[in-house]
Structures are given as structure tokens and as C-alpha cells.
């Protein structure tokens, strides 16, 4: 069994090139903390710093077979992080400059738009779940909820007993409650 923590960076890199995940894990353990601190010190955002370092390790793994650092490996990693941090900062500056040129938004319009977007998303989720119901149950359920027909009217149209219609609607609600979880209660409000 190889003691990966005793190997040099270049030895680990050679093993990583041959798809050795344990060697990669050692590089990750060796450098994640210090690279994270390096990125965080410049970005002052924990999530952004973690994302950047995760991106680095994803990049390292995906390019492992062709990876040939021109300097020593730690310098290569620090340089990669520094360049990415500079890119992030430059992007933020461009973004801030652009946003400062936009006219201020009316917050009531923004919240109304946000509310409508969430309502459409909720409706799409509900429609998708209703579409997954068994055909007859879906038909009965839609007639009950969308067309607002009584159980008696639905039964007459589909040649079903009122009790069968009631059972279809009850079972549909039970299935939807299980699938939608907390969204089910919003569904009740939405489909009233």
C-alpha cells in the first residue's frame, strides 16, 4: 500500500495522470485549504472562493493526462488561482459598471414579476405531476379541478358512479400530496 502523503507533488502528479484517484485525493487534501485561503483573501467571499477552488480541481482531473506544469506544481496551482481571481474581479467590475448604467427598478414591479415567475414555475410543476397520473384518474381530476364540475356531473359525462369519481379525485390528491410535498399545500390554493 502506497503512503501517498510521503510522495512529492510530481510523483503524485504522475500517478494522477494514470487515473489514480487516491493520488488525486492527496493533492486535494494537500492544497485545498491553502488555495482556498489564498482565493478568499482576495475575493472576501467564502462561496466564491470554494467554487473557484472546486473549479480548479475539476479542471485538474479533467486534464490530468495532458497536465504538464512549466514550474513546480504548487506555483502552477497558485498561478491558476491568482489568474482566476483576477478574472472574477474584472468580471465583477464590468458587471457593476453595467448595472450602474441601468435605471433604478421599481421594487413593486420587480416583486410582481418575481411573484408571476414563481407562480408559473409552480403551475408547471403541478401540471407535470398531474400529467403523470393514470389517464382516467387524470381526466376525472381535471374535470373536477379545472372545469369545476361536480362529482355527479363528471359521473354522468364519463358514465361512472359518483363514488368512483370521488375515489379518483381522492386518490389523485393522495398521489399529488406524496409527490409534491410542501408544494401540495400551494397546489390546493392554486387549484381551488
Q: What is the pLDDT of residues 102-142, one digit of tens each?
A: 776 555 555 567 777 777 877 787 788 888 888 999 898 88
pTM above the 0.85 mark?
Answer: no
pLDDT for residue 142 = 86
CA-angle at 55, arms to 52 and 60, nearest 5°: 130
**Model pLDDT for residues 14-56, shown as the tens digit of each residue:** 999 999 999 999 999 999 999 999 999 999 999 999 999 999 9
Grid-cell match 408544494, residue found = 183
Q: Which domains does the chain have, with CATH numbers?
A: 4-101 (1.10.1740.10), 109-190 (1.10.10.10)
Q: Mind giving me the DSSP string for 59-80?
A: HHHHTTTT---SS-HHHHHHHH
Amino acid at each position: 500500500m502506497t503512503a501517498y502523503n510521503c510522495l512529492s507533488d510530481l510523483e503524485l502528479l504522475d500517478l494522477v495522470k494514470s487515473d489514480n484517484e487516491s493520488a488525486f485525493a492527496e493533492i486535494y487534501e494537500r492544497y485545498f485549504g491553502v488555495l482556498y485561503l489564498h482565493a478568499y483573501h482576495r475575493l472576501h467571499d467564502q462561496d466564491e472562493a470554494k467554487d473557484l477552488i472546486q473549479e480548479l480541481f475539476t479542471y485538474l482531473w479533467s486534464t490530468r493526462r495532458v497536465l504538464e506544469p512549466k514550474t513546480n506544481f504548487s506555483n502552477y496551482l497558485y498561478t491558476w488561482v491568482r489568474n482566476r481571481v483576477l478574472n472574477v474581479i474584472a468580471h465583477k467590475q464590468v458587471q457593476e459598471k453595467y448595472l450602474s448604467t441601468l435605471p433604478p427598478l421599481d421594487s413593486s414591479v420587480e416583486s410582481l414579476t418575481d411573484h408571476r415567475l414563481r407562480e408559473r414555475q409552480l403551475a408547471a410543476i403541478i401540471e407535470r405531476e398531474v400529467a403523470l397520473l393514470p389517464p382516467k384518474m387524470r381526466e376525472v381530476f381535471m374535470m373536477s379541478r379545472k372545469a369545476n364540475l361536480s362529482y355527479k356531473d363528471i359521473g354522468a359525462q364519463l358514465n361512472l358512479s359518483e363514488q368512483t369519481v370521488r375515489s379518483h379525485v381522492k386518490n389523485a390528491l393522495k398521489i399529488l400530496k406524496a409527490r409534491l410535498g410542501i408544494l401540495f399545500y400551494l397546489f390546493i390554493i392554486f387549484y381551488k
